[in-house]
């Protein structure tokens, strides 16, 4: 079983969970460029930067780096380029960089859960109730955030389109 959870690993996992959820919501929404898209995108970008930065404090058993750390460097670059592109009005580049960053996150997640010795698969085996509670808390708080944004849109008189 892996070493115990630390604050850094917990922060990394929570940020990654939010990044998976908010990234999916923003990619699936129809009206890109809306205020809700921008707010969710900012939350997602912060979560992604937290994932990237915290990843460098999480080492392999022998204290080294692995392919996930290389992906973190790439993600830092693509995320930053995506933010730079939208600030310059280059929406196509923004979409490509952000979509690529999101699917890199999905790939890293698949890579993490596919290795039985890592924390999440071990939780699924040894602490399914804890894992279920963690996933439910992430989903509930993310859902409340999205619902709150939609409520703000309604109060502002904007008709929701997706």
Extract the tokens encoding 131: 């894992």
> Whole-model pTM above 0.75?
yes
Per-residue model confidence (pLDDT) at position 14: 94
**What's phi and psi for 93, nearest 5 deg?**
-65, -40
Residue that the structure tokens 């922060």 belong to? 11
Question: Sign (positive/negative) of CA torsion 22, 28, 34, 36?
Answer: negative
Task: Tell me what percent of the chain is helix, strand and coil, each rounded to the nearest 5.
Answer: 75, 0, 25
* Phi-psi label, residue 157: left if phi above 0, alpha if psi -120 to 50, beta otherwise: left
Tell me the Ramachandran region of residue 89: left when phi exceeds 0, alpha when psi lies from -120 to 50, beta otherwise.
left
- Helices H, strands E: what count in the chain? 6, 0
Mean pLDDT by 10 residues, the chain (162 residues): 75 95 91 86 96 87 73 94 96 96 93 84 89 92 88 67 54
Q: Quick one: CA dihedral 110, 73, 64, 126, positive or negative? A: negative
Domain segments of the chain as ranges: 7-155
Spell out where 16-151 has E strands. Answer: none
Half-sphere exposure of 151 (CA within 13 A, CB side): 6
DSSP 8-state symbol, 59: -
How far is Cα 19 from Cα 102, in angstroms, rounded to an integer? 8
For residue 150, the model assigns a pLDDT of: 80
Residue pair 85/93 in contact by the 8 Å Cβ criterion: yes
């Amino acid at each position: 079983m892996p070493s115990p959870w630390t604050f850094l690993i917990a922060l990394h996992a929570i940020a990654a969970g939010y990044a998976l959820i908010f990234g999916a919501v923003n990619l699936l929404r129809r009206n890109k460029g809306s205020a809700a898209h921008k707010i969710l995108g900012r939350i997602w970008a912060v979560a992604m930067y937290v994932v990237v930065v915290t990843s460098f404090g999480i080492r392999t058993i022998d204290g080294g780096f692995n392919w996930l750390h290389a992906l973190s460097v790439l993600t830092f670059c693509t995320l930053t380029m995506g933010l730079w592109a939208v600030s310059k009005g280059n929406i196509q580049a923004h979409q490509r960089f952000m979509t690529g960053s999101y699917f890199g996150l999905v790939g890293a997640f698949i890579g993490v859960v596919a290795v039985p010795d890592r924390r999440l698969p071990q939780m699924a085996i040894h602490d399914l109730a804890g894992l279920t509670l963690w996933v439910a808390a992430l989903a509930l708080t993310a859902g409340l955030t999205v619902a709150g944004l939609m409520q703000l849109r309604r109060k502002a008189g904007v008709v929701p389109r997706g």
